Structure formats: C-alpha cells, structure tokens
Amino acid sequence: MNLPKDFIDKYQTILGSEADVFLASFDQEAVSAYRTNPLKKVQKDFSDAIPETPWGHYGKVSGKSADHVTGLVYSQEPAAQMVAQVAAPTEGMRVLDLAAAPGGKTTQLLSYLNNTGILVSNEISKKRSKVLVENVERFGARNVLVTNESSQKLAKVFSNYFDLIVFDGPCSGEGMFRKDPDAIQYWHKDYPTECADLQKEILEEAMKMLAPGGRLVYSTCTWAPEENEEVVSWLLENFENLTLLPISKINGMQEGIGLPEVARMYPHHFKGEGQFVAHLQDTRPPEKLGKIKSLSSRLRKDQQQLWKDFADKHLTVSLSGVYQTFGDELYLLPDGLPDLSKVKIARNGLHLGTFKKNRFEPSFALGLALTSDEVKQGVDLSEKDYFAYTSGNIVTLDTALPNGWYQIRVNGNGLGFAKVVGSTVKNYYPKGLRFNTN
C-alpha cells in the first residue's frame, strides 16, 4: 500500500522497533466480521467466534442472505465491535450514540439494552442518517429514536439527560486505510490536529448532555495521538468531574501512549482494523432530574380504535410506550423522552403502520421487530420463496389460509407483514430494498 511519507515517518517515531511490522500489516487483507442479534427469537450456531465477545464472529455475511435481511446478523469489523463492548449499557439506561452512522455501534448498544430504556441514535449527515435508519429498522429494536441534528441542538433538548454517551468521533481515519484505501487521499500531516479541534467542539456539547454519574465512551478509528490521548487529556483538564476508567485489554489490545487506561488496536497485535477507545466516568453524585416535559400519546379516537382492533386480532402482546401520529403514519416511541418539537427526526421510534380509510395496515418495520410468539399468525417462507419475495414477486402457498395479515418469516424470524388471500401471499416487501439473486 502506498502510504504517505509523513505518515510512515510519524509511526516510525511513535512505534520504534514495531514500526516495520505495523507498516507491513497494511499489505495484508482487511479482517471481516459480524455480530449476531440477540433480539431475534430464533438464533443459529455460527462458527469462528471472536474471543471474549458476546456476539462477535469472524467472517463475511452476504447482504442478500436471509440472516442479514431479517436482521439476525450485522457486518462489523472486530476492532469497531470493541467500542460498544466497552460501553456495555445495562437495561433501562438512557443512551446517546452521538455520531452513529452507519449503525454498527447503535445496533450493538441496542443488543445490550434488550428493548428497554432509550437509545437516541444521532447522525448529523442527512445522507448517512438514511443508511442508519435502514440498519436500525432491520435490527428490529423498539426503544430507539434516530435524530439528524448537530450536537449543539441536541444539547438544548437533552440537558443532563443521558446515563451513557458513546461518541465515535469524526477522525483522520488512519485505522481504515487497509479497509478503505481511498481514505489515504484525504490524509495530510495536519489533518489529525484539524480533526481533534472538531472532536473537542462536539465533546463540549456532549458533556452538557451527560447526567451526573454518567459515563462517556470516546473512540476514533485512528492511531493519531492528537485525536486520541491528547483529546482525552483535554477532557480531563477541562471537565474536572471526569475520571478515566481502565479498559480490560483483550485480544491483543494495547495500552495508550502515556495513558495505560485507554485501549489501542493495531492490526499487527489485534485481529482487526485500527481503533482507539477511552472510558470516562462522571464523578458527580447521581441526582434526580427535575420534571421534564415528557412526550404524550397523540391519537384521535378513531385511530385508537383502528390500532386496537388490529392489535387485538393479530398480536399477543401489548406494546408499551408513547403512540404518536405524523400524518397517517403511526409510531411508537419509548417512554421518558423530552419534547422533541425542535429536533430533526430521521426515524420517530418504531413505525407501526399506516391509517387508511377505515383500516390500519401494519408496517414492514413492525413485522421485523416482533417475534413469532408475539404475533397470532405467520407464514414461513422456504429459501426459494424467500428469494422470490425479496425480488418483488408474489408467493403461492401449498395450502390456502384464511384471508388477512400475516407476519412473513424466514428461518423463524420476521420479514415484515403481508396480506394473504387464499393461497397467495401478496408482496409487501419495500420496493427500495428488493434485489435479484442473478
């Protein structure tokens, strides 16, 4: 790989005798991996587990496979998986993923939360937030709100709110050179310092949102000390209530430069790409927040009845949370969110479906989020029918069923809802997601 001379000189100085093997690692193949999704009811045995991780596996996943399309697996390289693993939120927490696209850390945080608490998943880029929304929807979580905002705007709405903030900062991307060689063209010797200045600006706003006693996980996909240890030192100097927590060094993680508590991942030590992680604790005593103006459900009586009729007929569970409509669309948000009227929202919680004239039609997202035992009737597709359905075709069943809405399932996990008429499964797979296997 043709690396910039300034980059080579820099890491020869930083790494000394290890520099040659470090630089040689750029000519090796990038390491691929994925995680399994514990929110899905039907699991599978996957090989080649990443040691000391709850859901990680080495290997590649096809974007057209049923495992991927139903959200059972999510592609994410091993070093990136360590960030949310360090964060490891407990159930019921209020969590912010501040720079969340494309969704790897968000979906991993959701795995820990297990459909409890609140995750606000934010991405300032509108284009990147669309990818984030798609990945969140496929994962099937019910307790997540996707926002499309600056940290400054979020701080005005979520003051002292979050128990945990994860910030994977926009960085010089050195750790991604092997995976994405195009990233090299943006690198120059002053780039890490420029990125560090931006990271500090965002972190200043993040600290306004951290609740007393909360935790901050700061990460980058670079090795530059300017963006890593120097930013952590800046945090400790400017926010005296913060203390640095030690990170267990697993699978070849290395101590930081001058900060043994933080973790560095180099490809010549750790089987993965480049990553840096720091774990900080707010030492202020936890306190009860003043009463916030929480969201409340907003449905007309006729809409309430249409939803109730659908839920009574098709679901075995009662979905708790805040029900809100936007136009004819019905959404379910987690309890405890503040007023969101001044926040740009990319995904307003779980999309339940659409009110149409005198009826309610369930959404694709709802069929992904519900497990088979939470739905009264479902249709299991064979592999052949799965590929027909995801390419936009109707499916013909061997036996006719009573007409109505059914959860479509593949290998036991949901793939949306569809209307069945006799032996015909009409196609409700979203047009924008359809693909051919040819």
The reply, when asked if residue 206 is annotated as ligand binding, is no
| CA–CA gap between residue 206 and residue 98 (Å, rounded) | 8
The reply, when asked if residue 105 is annotated as ligand binding, is yes
Contact status, residue 75 vs residue 32, Cβ threshold 8 Å: yes
Residue 378's H or E segment, with its range, is strand 378-381
The identity of residue 269, as a single letter, is H
The reply, when asked if residue 168 is annotated as ligand binding, is yes
The reply, when asked if residue 9 is annotated as ligand binding, is no
* Residue tagged 């069943």 (tokens): 397
The reply, when asked if residue 102 is annotated as ligand binding, is yes
* Residue tagged 């691929």 (tokens): 32
Residue 52's H or E segment, with its range, is none
The reply, when asked if residue 99 is annotated as ligand binding, is yes
* Residue tagged 């390289």 (tokens): 77
| CA–CA gap between residue 72 and residue 54 (Å, rounded) | 14
* Residue tagged 């790897």 (tokens): 104
The reply, when asked if residue 201 is annotated as ligand binding, is no
Residue 234's H or E segment, with its range, is helix 229-238
CA within 13 Å, CB half, 180? 14
Contacts of 262 (CB under 8 A, 6+ apart): 228, 229, 232, 244, 247, 255, 256, 276, 277, 278, 279
| CA–CA gap between residue 70 and residue 73 (Å, rounded) | 8
Strands 378-381 and 210-220: unpaired
Out of 31, 79, 82, 221, the active site residue is: 221
- Backbone phi and psi for residue 198, each to the nearest 5 degrees, phi listed first: -65, -40
**239, two tokens:** 């926010």
CB burial readout 96-113, b (16+ within 10 A) else e: bbbbbbbbbbbbbbbbbb
The reply, when asked if residue 100 is annotated as ligand binding, is yes
| CA–CA gap between residue 104 and residue 25 (Å, rounded) | 24
Count of CB atoms situated within 10 Å of the CB of 55: 21
* Residue tagged 């080649």 (tokens): 48
* Residue tagged 């007309």 (tokens): 300
The reply, when asked if residue 140 is annotated as ligand binding, is no
Q: Confirm whether 221 is a catalytic residue.
A: yes
Residue count (the chain): 438
Binding residues for S-adenosyl-L-methionine: 99-105, 123, 168
What residues are annotated to the active site? 221
